[in-house]
A and B are shown apart, each in its own frame.
Chain A
Amino acid sequence: DAKTTQPNSMESNEEEPVHLPCNHSTISGTDYIHWYRQLPSQGPEYVIHGLTSNVNNRMASLAIAEDRKSSTLILHRATLRDAAVYYCILRDRATSGTYKYIFGTGTRLKVLA
């Protein structure tokens, strides 16, 4: 089962910031928080990841709560191209020693022109 909880959908106006929340109350001390997004008719693509500190890259920022039980993906200026399903993922350790992603249903972001 997915280890994260996200709202099913959110809306934002174009060129405004968007805050996408994620709850992960069972996170362990070594779990990284990953965000991927899936544009229509495409495979998921990496957005950002973090462990404890807030992270920034060219696509987004990731704010992680001090207790690490929740995080927020921040798109600073939403564009129509950002309309997608956003997945917050904690990796699950397989018996083989590798890691695998357990996807939930994600948050469908609608951007209004």
Chain B
Amino acid sequence: EAGVAQSPRYKIIEKRQSVAFWCNPISGHATLYWYQQILGQGPKLLIQFQNNGVVDDSQLPKDRFSAERLKGVDSTLKIQPAKLEDSAVYLCASSLDPTRLSTDTQYFGPGTRLTVL
């Protein structure tokens, strides 16, 4: 079974530029997550999609960050314009059904390391 794919793996931009990250989740997984991981911290959830719809974007800085999930499969996360504090690893994850009370494992991609100069 193929895992979660992300690209690019690394990106260096200057502040005020724009950047986009792409994620392809595991086939059949209804839920897709974007996390931001700043060095030395645990991942922080930015946005969660259930199929095409957003179910949680409470931590997404909406003035500069946007995300979409095309046809309930691939997703892109965009930052426009980037700030120095956006330097982090951006992780994408997917899961089958997080509404299950018992458990639902999240599968993470390798992440995109963003450096904003």
Interface residue ranges, A against B (CB under 8 Å)? 2, 30, 32, 34, 36, 41-46, 49, 51, 85, 87, 94-106
Number of B interface residues in the complex (CB < 8 A)? 28
Interface pair A103/B103, CB less than 8 Å apart: no
Interface residue ranges, B against A (CB under 8 Å)? 4, 31, 33, 40-45, 48, 50, 55-56, 91, 93, 98-99, 101-111
Chain A residue at minimum C-beta to C-beta distance from B93: A43
Interface pair A46/B98, CB less than 8 Å apart: no
Closest Cβ of chain B to A8, distance in Å, is 10
Main secondary structure of the interface of A (DSSP, over half): loop
* Distance of A103 Cα from B55 Cα, bound (Å): 19
Chain B residue at minimum C-beta to C-beta distance from A42: B110
Number of A-B contacts (CB under 8 A): 67
Q: Which residues of A lie under 8 Å from residue B44 when comparing CB positions?
A: 103
Closest Cβ of chain B to A63, distance in Å, is 18
Q: A43-B108, A45-B108, A46-B106 are in contact. Are A98 and B43 (CB under 8 A)?
A: no
* 13 new A-B contacts at CB < 8 Å, known A42-B110, A49-B105: A30-B101, A42-B108, A43-B4, A43-B91, A43-B108, A43-B109, A44-B106, A45-B108, A49-B103, A96-B56, A100-B33, A103-B43, A105-B42
Closest Cβ of chain B to A92, distance in Å, is 9
Closest Cβ of chain B to A49, distance in Å, is 5
Interface pair A100/B103, CB less than 8 Å apart: no
Interface pair B109/A46, CB less than 8 Å apart: no
Chain B residue at minimum C-beta to C-beta distance from A103: B42
